[in-house]
Amino acid sequence: MHADTVTVDDNFIKRISSFETPLGAPVMLSPRLGKDILKTIGKIDRKKVLILGCGSDPAPIWFARQKAKVDAIDISPKSVEIQRTLAERLGLSVNVIIGDAHNTYLSKSSYHMIYGNRILHHLDTKLAAKEMFRLLKPDGVAVFQDIIQGNVFLQWFRKLTPFWRTPDEHPLTQRDFAIFRQYFKTIEVSEYILLALPYLFLWRIGNAILSKLCIKMKRPKSSTFCRVCDKADELVFRIFPFMKNNAWACLVVLRRN
């Protein structure tokens, strides 16, 4: 579990505080995703937000800084401890609780927004959809950045590297989206990160090999390269819509009404 490797020191707090969106690192690979997230969230001050599967993500802190009323939930006590420490060190108000996203025991129709970073593919889609529908206000919206099944290369890569995933993971498919449609009046899915995939996976494989040799390597950051790939993805998806199914990441927006 990623949270078990986190130490809440000054460097970690500085990094978490530096993100301009609730996304964190994925925005580097797709600036367009970051812009779309902010546009979807809109003005959130004084609204009540629930962060599902908060982990060690920047989302709870980011929403608190936008003056939202933030509840955050995670099944991991370590993740809850991290978020409480972050909020305390930064002087922000975040209510963090240990709980199951399938059955939160939180009050029904309480939230204007439910948000999550890569949490849906860890959940039972039907149970999660039912609980989110129960928790949202009638005009509420659920916003998630997650991963989809993607192309054949992605599917085989996951099969060959099960040690990088937990047993409950399942990239989102059309079947999952069909389940969401049973509960929510509107579902919007946007796809991201296709042409940058070779860069991403070559880095990850190379980093894994070097880690075995006890050599640490930071991910090379090329914002220009990522912006070019991101723009090219947008063009490819517009000309060849079927290529969206080959992407890696997605933005899922679920609206009750």
User: What pTM value is reported for the model?
Assistant: 0.89
Q: Which two tokens stand for residue 75?
A: 């099944």
Whether 21 is covered by a domain: the verdict is yes
The answer to whether residue 211 sits within a structural domain is no
- Using the CB atoms, write b or e for 121-149: b if 16+ within 10 Å: bbbebeebbbbbbebbbeebbbbbbbbbb
106 in a structural domain: yes
Q: How confident is the model at residue 74 (pLDDT cuts 50, 70, 90)?
A: very high
Q: Cα(257)–Cα(255) distance, rounded to whole angstroms?
A: 6
In a domain, 103, yes or no: yes
Sheet holding 111-117, edge to edge: 94-98, 69-74, 48-52, 111-117, 136-147, 249-255, 186-192
Task: State percent of the chain over pLDDT 70.
Answer: 83
| Residue 99 belongs to some domain of the structure | yes
Whether residue 144 lies inside any domain: the answer is yes
Is residue 214 included in any domain, yes or no?
Answer: no
User: Which residues are CB-neighbours of 199 under 8 A, at least 6 positions away?
Assistant: 225, 229
Range from 30-34, 76-80, 165-169, 190-194 carrying the lowest mean pLDDT: 165-169
Residue that wins the pLDDT comparison between 5 and 33: 33
Domain boundaries, position 142: 2-25+41-192+242-255
For residue 250, the domain's CATH number is 3.40.50.150
Total structural domains within the chain:
1
114 assigned to some structural domain? yes
